[in-house]
């Protein structure tokens, strides 16, 4: 396991890397960092795969961008830039939280460049409008999205009491799980850097942006596309971020014509790659090998 760099044009991103072979990009979400995948990458890197976890755009000082450059389509372009930098024709994607959303979008827009997708903890959002019928509880689960829309107040709330909201979200989204305190301390320390927290929140603030071309393209693409890439979706049945009904009732195999499987985990929540690490690692490796 080692640190390196990867480029998109003139922008340099820090990475964590392990192994050699077919490239697999691991995309992290919020509130988290790229080290969240380290144990999984170490295991998979020994099985003939080159595992790379970039620090996502806006999560380090060198990649802070104007908020209008943090739409889903822009973040997909980062993936293409990284592929050009390393001269990869095709890659596998593993994404958690926002990383899963970006992986889905990459499969929608550029299926010929993506060999497989593994999504952790996030359903395909094109079905989200039906959630009020199948999972009315999701309205309560999504309270934080409304908070994050409010500039200054959201940042102030998250920073208060030594970033207590970060601790709360990990506990609330994975009930009964005790997070690794060193990992949370690194996340909080990073959010203290000027501009980082606002950049991370811009992912949420841009989700329903209809005023810019990239915003409209991001939203309409998510709501009206198939994923023509073999896709597996792993989720926790006790997820406090996305209700289990969104996975069990709203995921339609016809949205994944090139191959699909979904697996739910008892006694696990949103951070299932921490809670059920061995099982999740095994399933990711199986999917990678099947679609190699």
| Of 156, 182, 179, nearest in space to 168 by CA | 179
Selected residue with higher pLDDT from 57 and 245: 57
Inter-residue contact 24 to 268 (CB < 8 Å):
no
Query: How far is residue 203 from each of residues 28, 73, 140, 168, measured CA to CA in Å?
Result: 12, 11, 20, 20
Query: How far is residue 202 from each of residues 54, 101, 193, 235, measured CA to CA in Å?
Result: 18, 14, 16, 25
Residue-wise pLDDT tens digits, 50-90: 999 999 999 999 999 776 778 898 999 999 999 999 999 99
| Of 276, 230, 221, 242, nearest in space to 93 by CA | 230
Selected residue with higher pLDDT from 213 and 117: 117
Residues 6+ apart with CB under 8 A from 115: 22, 90, 91, 92, 229, 230, 291, 292
CATH number for the domain spanning 104: value is 3.40.50.1820
Range of the domain at 46: 2-291
**Rounded Cα–Cα distance for residues 281 and 289 (Å):** 12
Measure CA of the first residue to CA of the last residue in the chain; give whole Å. 22
Inter-residue contact 231 to 58 (CB < 8 Å):
no
Task: Pull the structure tokens for residue 140.
Answer: 């309560």
Please determine, for residue 174, whether its predicted confidence score (pLDDT) is greater than 60: yes
Which pLDDT belongs to residue 133?
55
Please determine, for residue 288, whether its predicted confidence score (pLDDT) is greater than 90: yes
Express as a percent the part of the chain with pLDDT over 70. 90
**Rounded Cα–Cα distance for residues 202 and 88 (Å):** 29
For residues 269-277, average pLDDT: 98
Residue-wise pLDDT tens digits, 202-222: 999 988 765 566 656 666 666
Q: How many domains does the chain have?
A: 1
Task: Give, for 14, the enclosing helix (H) or strand (E).
Answer: strand 11-18
Task: Out of 9-13, 126-130, 280-284, pick the least confident.
Answer: 126-130
Which pLDDT belongs to residue 48?
96
Express as a percent the part of the chain with pLDDT over 90. 77
Which pLDDT belongs to residue 140?
76
Task: Pull the structure tokens for residue 161.
Answer: 């009491």
For residues 118-139, average pLDDT: 72
Is the peptide bond between 31 and the residue preceding it cis, with omega within 30 degrees of 0? yes
| Of 77, 78, 79, nearest in space to 93 by CA | 79
| Three-point CA angle 130, 95, 196, nearest 5° | 100
For residues 175-202, average pLDDT: 97
Task: Out of 79-83, 121-125, 177-181, pick the least confident.
Answer: 121-125
Determine the 3-state secondary structure of 115 from DSSP: strand
Q: What average pLDDT is seen over the chain?
A: 91
Selected residue with higher pLDDT from 48 and 219: 48
Which pLDDT belongs to residue 221?
62
């Amino acid at each position: 396991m080692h640190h390196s760099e990867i480029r998109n044009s003139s922008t340099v991103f820090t990475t964590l890397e392990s192994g050699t072979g077919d490239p697999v990009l691991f995309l992290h979400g919020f509130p988290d960092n790229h080290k969240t995948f380290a144990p999984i990458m170490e295991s998979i890197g020994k099985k003939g795969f080159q595992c790379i976890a970039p620090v996502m755009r806006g999560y380090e000082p060198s990649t802070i961008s104007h908020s209008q450059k943090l739409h889903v389509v822009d973040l997909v372009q980062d993936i293409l830039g990284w592929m050009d930098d390393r001269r990869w024709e095709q890659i596998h994607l593993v994404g958690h939280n926002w990383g899963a959303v970006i992986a889905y979008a990459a499969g929608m827009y550029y299926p010929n460049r993506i060999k497989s997708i593994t999504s952790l903890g996030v359903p395909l959002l094109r079905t989200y409008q039906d959630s009020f019928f199948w999972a009315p509880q999701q309205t309560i689960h999504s309270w934080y999205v409304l908070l994050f829309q409010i500039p200054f107040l959201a940042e102030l709330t998250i920073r208060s009491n030594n970033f207590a909201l970060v601790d709360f979200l990990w506990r609330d989204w994975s009930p009964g799980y005790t997070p690794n305190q060193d990992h949370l301390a690194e996340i909080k320390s990073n959010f203290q850097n000027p501009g980082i927290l606002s950049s991370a929140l811009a992912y949420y603030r841009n989700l329903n942006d209809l005023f810019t071309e990239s915003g409209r393209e991001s939203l309409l693409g998510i709501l009206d596309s198939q994923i023509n890439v073999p896709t597996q979706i792993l989720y926790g049945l006790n997820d406090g971020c996305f209700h289990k009904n969104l996975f069990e009732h709203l995921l339609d195999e016809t949205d994944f014509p090139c191959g699909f499987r979904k697996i739910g985990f008892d006694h696990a929540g949103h951070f299932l790659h921490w809670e059920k690490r061995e099982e999740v690692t095994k399933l990711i490796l199986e999917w990678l090998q099947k679609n190699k």
